[in-house]
C-alpha cells in the first residue's frame, strides 16, 4: 500500500503546503468563514466537483460519484479559526489581526481539498460515492455539524472518517481511541434567590450564600451515584458569585460549571439531578432558584471496527499506532457518529526538534511540522482504498 499511495499523493505535496499556507494567512472565526467557503467552493468548482444543495451558511459538502459501484464514504474537515493573535515569526503568518488558525483547521482543510484533487485526477479510484464535508464552526457552540446532519449531509453515507492534527504526538504517529474520542459536554447554572438584609439581623433575611455552598457540595456528589465507576466523567463547580460586603446579606447567588461524560445517556440524568437537587435544597430553606442546563457537544463514540481499520492502514503506510486513552475534550464530529459508524483519530505533527509542549493547540505560538500534512493526505487515501476494497 505505501508505495502505491506515495506514488499518488507525492505530486501534490508542494501544492498541499501552498494551500495550507494560504488558509493560514487568511483565518476566519466560527460562523464567519465567508472567504474561506468561497475559496473552497471555487476550488471544487474548478475541479468540476458538484456541491450538495440545501447546505446553509459557510459549510460546504462536495459529492464525487464514481462509475464503479461501491459504498458512500464521507470525510470531514473543520474550517474555522480562533480569536488568537498570532505571535509566530512565519512568512505565512496570519494577516488578520486577532484571528489565527491556532488549532490546525487550515491543515485539515488543505488536506481535504487536496484529496478532492487526487480523486478527480484518478477517477479509477472512486468506487461508489465520496462526500467531502467542509464544516464551519467546530470551535463555537452549537457548532456546524449538528446543522449539517439536520440538512441531510449524512444521508446515504455508509462510513465517515475525520482526523485532527496533534502537537502532542511526533511525526509518523497516528493516535487512535477505540471508544470515546471526546466527551459529552454540558454547562449548568443555578441562580438562587433569597432575601437580602443586614448582616447583624440574619433572622430578617433569607441568606442564599450558605445555601449555595450546600448546593455546590451536593452537585459534586452526583457522578458518584449516577456514573459507572469504570467510565470517565467529571462535574465541576467552577464559580460562585454573589455578595460584596461583610455586613450585607445579598439577595442572590449564582453558581455554575460544566459536566463531561463519556456516556451520552448519562449527561441527561446528570442534568435532571442538577435540577432536582438544587430546587430541593433551596426549598428546604425557603428559597427558590432558576436552573439552566445546556448540552454542548455529545460524546464522539468511535466504532471499534473502524478504529481497527485506521490501525491497519497506519501500519501498512509505515507509521506508528499510539493507543490514546479516552479524553474529556469536546468535538462536534460526535453528531456524525450518532448518525453513522465511523472513526475520528489524531495525526501527530510535532516537530521532533521542538519540545512538544512549546506549541500547544489554541496558543499564540501554535506550530506544527508541515511534513505531517502529506502524511495526513496519505492516511485519507489509504483509508479510502482500504474500505472500498482496493488495498
Catalytic amino acids?
80, 138
Beta strands in 201-324 (DSSP E): 233-241, 248-249, 252-261, 288-295, 300-301, 320-323
Beta bridge partners of 63: 131
> What is the rounded distance in angstroms from the CA atom of residue 198 to the CA atom of residue 209?
14
Four-CA torsion 149, 151, 162, 1, nearest 10 degrees: 120
Q: Estimate to the nearest angstrom the gap between the alpha carbon of 365 and the chain centroid.
A: 20
Q: At what angle do helices 371-387 and 304-316 cross, to 10 degrees?
A: 120
Provide the edge-to-edge strand list for the sheet that holds 68-78.
Answer: 60-65, 127-135, 68-78, 159-170, 342-350, 173-176, 320-323
Closest CA to 39 of 63, 53, 16, 60: 60
Beta bridge partners of 348: 166
Euclidean distance between the first and final Cα of the chain, in Å? 6
Instruction: Report which DSSP code applies to 124.
Output: G
C-alpha cell at 136: 464551519
Q: At what angle do helices 208-219 and 264-284 cross, to 10 degrees?
A: 150
Amino acid at each position: 500500500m505505501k508505495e502505491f499511495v506515495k506514488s499518488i499523493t507525492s505530486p501534490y505535496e508542494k501544492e498541499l503546503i501552498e494551500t495550507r499556507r494560504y488558509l493560514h494567512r487568511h483565518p476566519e472565526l466560527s460562523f464567519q468563514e465567508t472567504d474561506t467557503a468561497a475559496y473552497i467552493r471555487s476550488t471544487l468548482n474548478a475541479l468540476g466537483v458538484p456541491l450538495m444543495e440545501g447546505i446553509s451558511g459557510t459549510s460546504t459538502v462536495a459529492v464525487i460519484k464514481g462509475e464503479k459501484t461501491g459504498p458512500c464514504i464521507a470525510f470531514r474537515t473543520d474550517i474555522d479559526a480562533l480569536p488568537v493573535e498570532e505571535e509566530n515569526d512565519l512568512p505565512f503568518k496570519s494577516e488578520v489581526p486577532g484571528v489565527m488558525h491556532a488549532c490546525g483547521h487550515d491543515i485539515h482543510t488543505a488536506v481535504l481539498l487536496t484529496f478532492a484533487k487526487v480523486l478527480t485526477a484518478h477517477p479509477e479510484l472512486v468506487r461508489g460515492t465520496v462526500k467531502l464535508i467542509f464544516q464551519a464552526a467546530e470551535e463555537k457552540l452549537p457548532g456546524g455539524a449538528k446543522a449539517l446532519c439536520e440538512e441531510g449531509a449524512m444521508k446515504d453515507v455508509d462510513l465517515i472518517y475525520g482526523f485532527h492534527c496533534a502537537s502532542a504526538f511526533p511525526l509518523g504517529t497516528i493516535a487512535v481511541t477505540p471508544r470515546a474520542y471526546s466527551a459529552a459536554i454540558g454547562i449548568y447554572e443555578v441562580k438562587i434567590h433569597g432575601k437580602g438584609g443586614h448582616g447583624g439581623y440574619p433572622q430578617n433575611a433569607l441568606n442564599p450564600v450558605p445555601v449555595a455552598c450546600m448546593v455546590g457540595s451536593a452537585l459534586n456528589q452526583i457522578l458518584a451515584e449516577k456514573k459507572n465507576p469504570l467510565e470517565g466523567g467529571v462535574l465541576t463547580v467552577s464559580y460562585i458569585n454573589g455578595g460584596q460586603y461583610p455586613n450585607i446579606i445579598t439577595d442572590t447567588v449564582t453558581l455554575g460549571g460544566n459536566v463531561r461524560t463519556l456516556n451520552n445517556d448519562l449527561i441527561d440524568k446528570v442534568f435532571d439531578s442538577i435540577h432536582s437537587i438544587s430546587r430541593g435544597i433551596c426549598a428546604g430553606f425557603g428559597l427558590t432558584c432558576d436552573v439552566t442546563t445546556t448540552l454542548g457537544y455529545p460524546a464522539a463514540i468511535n466504532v471499534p471496527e473502524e478504529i481497527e481499520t485506521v490501525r491497519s492502514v497506519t501500519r501498512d503506510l509505515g507509521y506508528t499506532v499510539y493507543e490514546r486513552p479516552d479524553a474529556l475534550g469536546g468535538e462536534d464530529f460526535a453528531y456524525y457518529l450518532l448518525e453513522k459508524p465511523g472513526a475520528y483519530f489524531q495525526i501527530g505533527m510535532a516537530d521532533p526538534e521542538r519540545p512538544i509542549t512549546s506549541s500547544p493547540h489554541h496558543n499564540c505560538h501554535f506550530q506544527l511540522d508541515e511534513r505531517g500534512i502529506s502524511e495526513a493526505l496519505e492516511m485519507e487515501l489509504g483509508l479510502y482504498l482500504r474500505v472500498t476494497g482496493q488495498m
